[in-house]
Amino acid sequence: MIDLGYRHVDVFSRRALQGNGLVVVLDAENLSTAVMQQLTREVRQFETAFLTGVDLPGRSARVRIFTEDEELDFAGHPVLGAAAVLHTLLPAPEPEESWALAVAQRSVVTRTRGAAGWVDAAMDQGVPQVGHAIAGELAEAYRDALNLVRGQLHPALPMQVVSTGLPYLIVPVQTGLDSARISQPGFERLLNVSGAKFVYVLDPDRPEGRTWDNAGRVEDVATGSAAGPAAGYLLHHGVRPAGEPLLVHQGRFTGRPSTIEVRPDPDGRLWVGGPVAPVAAGRFQAHLT
C-alpha cells in the first residue's frame, strides 16, 4: 500500500494550465525505482519528480527525475518545480530562499521567491560545456532526421553539442522551425554518435526552440535543461551580448507558449528560471500487490 502526497504545478507560467506541467511526489523514500517509473507512466507528464531526504530547516532534498521511459541524471523544469513546492512547504519562508538539491551525482543550488499566486524559481546550471562543431555527413543526417532541408539550416552557425548537465545537440535554423520534427526511427542512436542526449532545434534570432522525446512521440513544452545550453550556444557564438539576461521561448507549437529566463553571472555560470504556478494537490493511495 502506498499513501503519498503530491503536488501538481505548471513551470514557466504564472497561471495554471499553461507552461510545462509537473507532478512532484512527496516523501518518496520508501518507493522502489520500479514504482517511481510506474507512477510516472500513470500521471503521463513529460517528467515527474520524487522528493527524498527532505530537510526543510536545512533547505535541502534529493530529487529523482523520471520520464515515461527512464530516470534522468538532470532536467530543468523538475528541479525548478521541486524547489517551488519545497518553498510552499515552509511554515514561514524568507523573501528569498536558497536550496541545495541533490540530483544524481550533482548538487544544484536553487533560489525561490514567493509571489502572489506563484513561486519564482531559478537554478544555477553552471558554466556551459561547448563541444566541437558538427558538419559533413553527420550534420546532413541530423538535418534529414529532423525533417529539415539544406536551406532551412542557419548559414552562419553550426550544429553543436552543448551541456549544462544534460548534453543537447543544438541545431540552428533560419526557417523551418514550424515543420521540424523527429521523422526517422533510430534517432537516439544517431544522437549517440555526437554524444548528445536530446536535440534542440533553435531559431537563434527570436530565440525560440523545440525538443521532443527521442522517439518523436511527444514535444516538450518548456525545457529548462535545454535553455541553459541554448543560451550558452548563443553567447559562445556572439549572437547575444555577454552578461545580459535573455529569454528563450518554447511551447508555441504545443499550444502552451512558455518563456524561460537565463541570467549569466560574471564568471560565466548560467541561472535558468521562471515562475511556477500551483495546479492541484492530492495523494496517491493504492495497493500495488
Whole-number average pLDDT of the chain: 96
**For residues 220 and 223, what is the distance between their CA atoms, to the nearest angstrom?**
7
Cα dihedral 222→224→229→231 (10° resolution) = 80
Which neighbouring-strand residues pair with 98? 111
Strand blocks (E) in 57-188: 60-66, 71-72, 96-103, 106-114, 119-124, 129-134, 159-163, 167-172
HSE-up of residue 58 (Cα within 13 Å, Cβ side): 9
Instruction: Count other Cβ atoms within 10 Å, centred on residue 249.
Output: 16
Max CA pair span of the chain:
58
Nearest to 88 by CA among 49, 133, 120: 120
**For residues 125 and 256, what is the distance between their CA atoms, to the nearest angstrom?**
24
Contact 210, 243 (CB under 8 A): no
Determine which helix (DSSP H) or strand (DSSP E) holds 236, and give its type and residue range: helix 224-236
Identify the band that residue 246 occupies on the pLDDT scale cut at 50, 70 and 90. Answer: very high
Nearest to 282 by CA among 61, 82, 43, 11: 43
pLDDT digits (tens, 9 = 90+) for 117-149: 999 999 999 999 999 999 999 999 999 999 999
Grid cell, residue 89, equals 512547504
Residues making up the chain, counted from first to last: 289
Contact 197, 52 (CB under 8 A): no
Contact 172, 157 (CB under 8 A): yes
**For residues 247 and 88, what is the distance between their CA atoms, to the nearest angstrom?**
26
For the cut 80, the answer to whether the pLDDT of residue 289 exceeds it is no
Contact 39, 284 (CB under 8 A): yes
pLDDT digits (tens, 9 = 90+) for 182-241: 999 999 999 999 999 999 999 999 999 999 999 999 999 999 999 999 999 999 999 999
Single-letter amino acid code for the residue at 269: R
Nearest to 125 by CA among 229, 47, 201: 229
For the cut 80, the answer to whether the pLDDT of residue 259 exceeds it is yes
Please state whether 249 falls in left (phi above 0), alpha (psi between -120 and 50) or beta: beta
Q: Which domains does the chain have, with CATH numbers?
A: 2-125+274-286 (3.10.310.10), 129-268 (3.10.310.10)
pTM summary value: 0.92
**For residues 199 and 211, what is the distance between their CA atoms, to the nearest angstrom?**
6
Query: What share of the chain in percent tops pLDDT 70?
Result: 100
**What integer is the mean pLDDT of 97-106?**
96
**What integer is the mean pLDDT of 37-62?**
96
**What pLDDT score was predicted for residue 1?**
86
Determine which helix (DSSP H) or strand (DSSP E) holds 109, and give its type and residue range: strand 106-114
For the cut 90, the answer to whether the pLDDT of residue 46 exceeds it is no
**What pLDDT score was predicted for residue 117?**
93
